[in-house]
Structure 1
Amino acid sequence: MKGKIIFFSVFFLLTTGAISAQAKNAPRSIISTTALIRKYHDQKELSGMQKGELLELYIERIKVLVKTLPYIALVTKPGVTMADLGIPDDSEHKKSLENQALGTSTFLDTTVDFQRKMMPYSDKANLIAAILFYEGTLKSLHEFNELNEM
């Protein structure tokens, strides 16, 4: 019985280590896979929402734009890696991508904190207009992508 416990414990540790090692070596997406909008809205739908809901949509759209716009000359969709684009997957390029992701994360943390403190004082109509503008920008990225594929 003791032997089985030791065997399964060692097996579990080795399996966990192998899975962890594979995750570190997996290619990293240039645009974060979290840079997605679940749903687009119209003005009537937004007008029926509470200000707190609007603030969350506003912040979500800012995050997606910040995670997407700097890269549109390379790629416009999440999930594309450096290897997919023919960029060498060497330590210099990996470090550059990691530094960019860290900078983006730091910027977003600061921005979201600011938005949560200041945007509750904005007019509901201004929040709605901003959300619609951001969504229009995101929709235009889809058009950009279609033009780029021609």
Structure 2
Amino acid sequence: MKKLILLLLLISSLSTLTAQSRKNPAILYKADKLVSRFHTIDELQDLNKGDLIKLYLERTREIFIVIPYLSLTNKPGTSLQDLGIQADSDHVKVVEKNIEIADRAFEYTENTIKKLVPYSDTDDIIWSILYFEEVIKKMRLGR
């Protein structure tokens, strides 16, 4: 009898976990990884190279994260279900794997930027940041 009760409790727990995972479908990307503020050329010219490189990295990261999903959505927090895509295990795995691989790949990109961009002329970094910000604005506007 105890085994039967334990088995029923185990099955009940597993079904609850499965139901909860269905309520929380894969999110393509979250707003916390996106740029929160854009800058003017005057603001950028007042910053030192180290601060400019941080901004450069933030903008590169947003572009890196959003581009794979741009044809699906340009809104952070969008889930597969929001797009009408079934949040089955295959689709969820694809999204989760992409997030994992993108995070790992961006570590290398970040390392490259930190090692090489300091050798750039400050004006070139500023112009790159302004360019990235224009790209990000266009991505956020959509069509």
Segments of 4+ in structure 1 off by > 3 A?
A: none
Whole-angstrom CA distance in 1 between matches of 2:96 and 2:140: 26
Whole-angstrom CA distance in 2 between matches of 1:33 and 1:96: 20
Higher RCO, 1 vs 2 (CA within 8 Å, ≥6 residues apart): 2
* Cα deviation, residue 28, structure 1: 2.5
1:63 aligns with 61
* Cα deviation, residue 71, structure 1: 0.7
- Relative to the length of structure 1, the TM-score reads 0.77
- Relative to the length of structure 2, the TM-score reads 0.81
Residue 91 (structure 1) aligned with residue 89 (structure 2): yes
After alignment, is 63-72 or 127-136 more displaced?
63-72
Given candidates 98, 103, 111, the residue that maps to 1:113 is: 111
1:4 aligns with none
Question: How many equivalent residue pairs?
Answer: 125
* Cα deviation, residue 27, structure 1: 2.1
Asked whether the equivalents of residues 32 and 67 of structure 1 are also in contact (C-alpha less than 8 Å), the reply is no
Amino acid at match of 1:67: I
Asked whether the equivalents of residues 28 and 78 of structure 2 are also in contact (C-alpha less than 8 Å), the reply is yes
Whole-angstrom CA distance in 2 between matches of 1:33 and 1:40: 15
Whole-angstrom CA distance in 2 between matches of 1:67 and 1:34: 11
1:126 aligns with 124
Q: Percent identity?
A: 31
Asked whether the equivalents of residues 27 and 81 of structure 1 are also in contact (C-alpha less than 8 Å), the reply is yes
Asked whether the equivalents of residues 26 and 87 of structure 2 are also in contact (C-alpha less than 8 Å), the reply is no
Amino acid at match of 1:143: L
Whole-angstrom CA distance in 2 between matches of 1:134 and 1:42: 13
Secondary structure of the structure 2 residue equivalent to 1:34:
helix
Which structure 2 residue ranges, 5 or more long, are not aligned? 1-16
Which structure 1 residue ranges, 5 or more long, are not aligned? 1-20
Asked whether the equivalents of residues 29 and 80 of structure 1 are also in contact (C-alpha less than 8 Å), the reply is yes
* Cα deviation, residue 84, structure 1: 0.8
Asked whether the equivalents of residues 35 and 68 of structure 1 are also in contact (C-alpha less than 8 Å), the reply is no
Whole-angstrom CA distance in 1 between matches of 2:80 and 2:33: 17
Given candidates 43, 46, 50, the residue that maps to 1:45 is: 43
* Cα deviation, residue 35, structure 1: 3.1
Whole-angstrom CA distance in 1 between matches of 2:103 and 2:129: 21
